Structure formats: C-alpha cells, structure tokens
Amino acid sequence: MQQRSTWRQVALVAAIVGAGISAYLLVEYLGGSGGICLTGTGCDEVRTSAFAYPLGIPTPLLGLLFYLAAAWTAWRSVAPGPLLGMPPRTALLAVGVVGVGVSVFLTGVEAFVIHAFCTWCLGQAAASLVLFGAAVAVFLGGEEQVARTDGSRRAQRRVAREIDTQRASLRRSGLYASSAMAILVVGLLLGSAVGQGSTNVPTASGNATLAPATAPQEGSGPVTVVEFSDFQCPACAAVSPELQQLVDDGSITLTYRYFPLPQHQNALLAARAAAAAQIQGKFWPMHDRLFSTQTAWESLSNDQATTYFTQLATDAGLDVPTWKADLEGSAARQAVQTDADTASNLQLPGTPSIFINGQPYNGSLSLDGLRSAVAAAAG
C-alpha cells in the first residue's frame, strides 16, 4: 500500500504542476501578452495560432479544468469505493490516458503544424506524462483489499487507518506542491511585468530612428504604428490583416521594419525579397504575398525558396531580372541588417514587436485590442 500511496502523491503533484502552468498561461492569454518564454518566440506563435482558442475557449482554461479534475481524481482514488462508476485506480488511469493523449496531439501540432514550441506547453506535456506513469503504477499495483467477513472489523479498522495515513500524505504533498506553484506563478507574472516595463522605450527624439523615412510605410492615419516583423513568424502573419484594417479605415500610418529571426530558416531570404521589391516601390504587394503563402515556403530549401519568391515577384508585377539582382545586392541586405540592428539595440524579445506612437504595445494582437490601443493613443 505504501508504494501505491507514493505513486498517488506523484500523480497529485503532477496534476497540481499542470494546473499551475495552465493558470499562468491563462493569465497571459487573457492579458494578451506572451510573458516569459524560454523557446524564443514560440510561446507567442502558439498563442496566436488557430489552435489556441478551440471553439473560442482559451486552451489554458481547458487545461486548468483538466488538471484540477486530475488532482481531484488522484485525491479520491484512495477510497476503496467506486469513483465515477469505476474502480478508483481505473478512473485515475483513464484520466492519465486522456491527459497524455491530448498532450501528444498538441505537441505534434506545435512540431508539425505551427513549427514552434511553447515552453509552458512542453511543461504541461511533461506533467501529463508523469501523471500517466503514476496512474499506470497505481493501476498495476492492484486495489486495496478491505476485509468483508463478520470477523474482519479489526482488518477494516486497519485499512481505514491506512487510508487516513495516505490522505494525510496526499494532503501534505498537495499543500507543498500548491504553495510552490503559487510562488512560481506569481514570480513569473511579476517577472514578465518587470521585463515589459524595462523594455528600452524610444523617446520622442528617437522616433525618427524608430520609423525612418526610408522604411516601407502605408496609410495616412494620425497614429504611427511601427511593426518589427518576421515574414516566417505565424503571429506576424496573423496580425498583418488586423493592421491592414486599421490602415484601410484611416486610423494609422504603418511602418514596417525587418526583424528576421535566426530560428526561421527562410526569414532572412524573405526579408531580402521584400527589400528588393521595395527598391521598385512594390514592397506591400510582396509583403502581402509572403504572408499569405507563408506555410507554402517556410520549410523549403534555400534554392526552392528563392524559386518560390521569384514567382511571387512575378505575380506582384516586379521587373524580375532587376529584382533578382537587387535580392543579392548590397542595398537590400543593408536595409534588412539596419532594421535587425535597431531591433537588437531596442532589446526586442521577438516578433511581432509593435510600437504605437513610439510606445511599445504588449496587449492583445486581435483587431479589437489594437483598435482600442490606437484610439487611446489618438486621444
């Protein structure tokens, strides 16, 4: 029984860890901020993907409900009576199977569909894996036997005491794990807030550097929006039509800055392709085509991507021989490098990094969130 008790404690702690991570992610999702991410921009890319809000519900909320249910199941699995109409160990195993199955699916989506990993999603997957392993160990350990004969009261009292002991152990483990996760979550949220607050914010005198006249610009709205973006970033592709809507309705003047990230294999080439198009005054047609076809070229080899971008240049009405020469020329390379250097000097955490009237924007990338921030900046 002691071994089964230990595995139940492991299952409970794993569920609490998963719940804590889900709670942290939920706060970040609702606040529209990617928070602290140890996998570069992966957290932002996952958060802004189509898989982040199934049926309009934030995925972390579903995760929080699941892990709380798993913790309750681990706690209740001590009692010998049926749980959810099945033996307690079977109920715990069922929860473990569901958790690891969903985690495998979501991790596969990140790997093969989104092509980015969220640090905390991986933490949830690890918690689900540990929960599943502990549930298997409890299941294989068999059920506790409660004596049922008329002369078994002494045995029944002994089992009752052992159950009380197990519950006390679970209570202690749950309390320690909950306290540790609460401290961790609060610390992460505070760290995220401090990190955002310490971002290098350009001053009014530095706005010319933030939005130089040589950078691609569109619109004539009263509010200036500068976006440091990566053509291979899914979050950038998702926010592009939202910014375009604000341009179209006359709310903003949009400035685009190149910020190709090293983990995206074709991002630099895509940025140069757009910069070469800019030389011919056709940056925005190339910009739109690069984002709308992102999934088609993101995994191509360098030669394949060059061929693909050449077709996009043709579709955009560019003088292709001139564009090809500019693609390899110093002007396009320097334009991209200048923007990347500016992003580095600003210590930008990833893409998209958006500034509204010179102030960094850390809110939701939805149209409503951006529109509200623009309206506030307009006064």
Contact 3, 169 (CB under 8 A): no
Nearest to 87 by CA among 127, 140, 148: 140
The DSSP H or E segment spanning 339 is helix 330-345
Which of 171, 197, 223 terminates a domain? The answer is 197
pLDDT band at 146 (very low <50, low <70, confident <90, very high): very low
Dihedrals phi, psi of 79, to nearest 5 degrees: -65, 145
pLDDT given at position 37: 77
- Identify the CATH number of the domain in which residue 353 sits: 3.40.30.10
- Identify the CATH number of the domain in which residue 138 sits: 1.20.1440.130
Kindly tell me if the per-residue pLDDT of 40 is higher than 80: no
Co-location of 234 and 346 in the same domain: yes
Contact 118, 37 (CB under 8 A): yes
Kindly tell me if the per-residue pLDDT of 234 is higher than 90: no
pLDDT given at position 207: 53
Co-location of 7 and 73 in the same domain: yes
Kindly tell me if the per-residue pLDDT of 285 is higher than 60: yes
Which pLDDT tens digit goes with each residue over 166-211?
A: 889 999 999 999 999 999 999 988 876 665 555 444 544 455 578 8
The residue segments making up the domain with residue 15 are 2-197
pLDDT given at position 121: 93
Kindly tell me if the per-residue pLDDT of 150 is higher than 80: no
Q: How far apart are CA 78 and CA 65, in angstroms?
A: 21
Contact 18, 63 (CB under 8 A): yes
Average pLDDT on 250-269 reads 94
Give 11's contacts (C-beta < 8 A, 6+ positions apart). 70, 74, 77, 92, 96, 130, 131, 134, 135, 138
pLDDT-wise least confident of 31-45, 74-88, 297-311: 31-45
pLDDT given at position 305: 96
Contact 22, 124 (CB under 8 A): yes
Domains: count for the chain: 2
Co-location of 191 and 243 in the same domain: no
Co-location of 109 and 191 in the same domain: yes
Q: How far apart are CA 156 and CA 241, in angstroms?
A: 67
Co-location of 209 and 192 in the same domain: no
pLDDT given at position 267: 95
223-229/252-258 β-pairing: parallel
Kindly tell me if the per-residue pLDDT of 149 is higher than 60: no
Co-location of 175 and 243 in the same domain: no
Co-location of 67 and 107 in the same domain: yes
Which of 133, 163, 197 terminates a domain? The answer is 197
pLDDT given at position 329: 94
Which pLDDT tens digit goes with each residue over 8-19?
A: 999 999 999 999
Q: How far apart are CA 79 and CA 261, in angstroms?
A: 53
Co-location of 178 and 319 in the same domain: no
Co-location of 163 and 208 in the same domain: no
Which of 137, 164, 197 terminates a domain? The answer is 197
Co-location of 63 and 182 in the same domain: yes
Co-location of 261 and 372 in the same domain: yes
pLDDT given at position 340: 93
pLDDT given at position 143: 53
pLDDT given at position 163: 79
Average pLDDT on 283-298 reads 96
